[in-house]
Amino acid sequence: MSKNLKTSEYQNYEIFGEDDLYIIKDKVRKKYYKLDYSDVLSMGVIFKDREEKISNFNYIFFVCSIIALEIVNVLILFYSHEEVVGITRDDFIKYLLIYFPFFIYFHELGHITFFKYFGRRVDKIGFKLNYIFPSFYVRMNDTYMLSKKEKIVVHLGGIFFSLILNNIMFTLGVCLKCTILIYLAKYMAIDILYNSIPLMNSDGYKVIIATRGVLEAKSFNENSMLVKVIKLCNIIFVILYTVWFIFNI
């Protein structure tokens, strides 16, 4: 339990505080605002301590499990076996179109599972363009009302579920000597690694800003230097990728 976590219900508002950071949630408008400690004092809000819903041991075990699974994921990329031959491009695309939606569903289920475990509701599940790249997403605005550790677990939840699924697929492929399963696992291992890198609004990016205790603002200028640097890197990456794509069509 963290003694620095505080919560309060104030009319149509819910207030959450961790250390010196306070967030107020407007339950009617479903908007969130950052408060200074002086603002909280002026409101005369009475707080009560809130227990962190994940122990230090479970948190460390969870993070270590993901690191171990990520190492296995990298090894999958470098796996070389005589059985991994003889698959056509058309066959691979056909099976990928079947596996990929299930993979995405399982990934998002990871976020949702941990989010609900911490007592929060998902706002929306949808599809959007992440810069120029199409992506599915789960909108979880109530992460503002979670502690730093709880946020990290939620953001890592999708990667955790993806790693479990992909490792199972790879193991089955090797045991059954099924070429297509091995190829699919190797391909999705790249996707998992990419999502772990703190770029393009990835899970890795969300984990980094949660670890640093940084809140992302809509306005570029209102963001911290860390967020600004990452966003600039995103723009550079998109430009380079677009140029590469145009000249390689």
Write out the catalytic residue numbers. 108
Query: What's the Cα-to-Cα distance from 24 to each of 7, 93, 212, 223, rounded to whole Å?
Result: 10, 47, 20, 19
For residues 151 and 135, give the distance between their C-alpha atoms in angstroms, rounded to a whole number.
Answer: 21
The number of residues making up the chain comes to 249
HSE-up (13 A, CA, CB side) for residue 109: 11
Strands, E, within the chain: which ranges? 5-10, 13-18, 21-26, 31-35, 48-49, 124-130, 133-139
Phi, psi of 217 (to 5 degrees): -95, 155
For residues 9 and 25, give the distance between their C-alpha atoms in angstroms, rounded to a whole number.
Answer: 10
Write the burial class of residue 25 (CB in 10 Å: 0-12 exposed, 13-18 middle, 19+ buried).
buried
**Residue with structure tokens 């690191």?**
67
Q: Which residues contact 98 (CB under 8 A, 6 or more apart)?
A: none
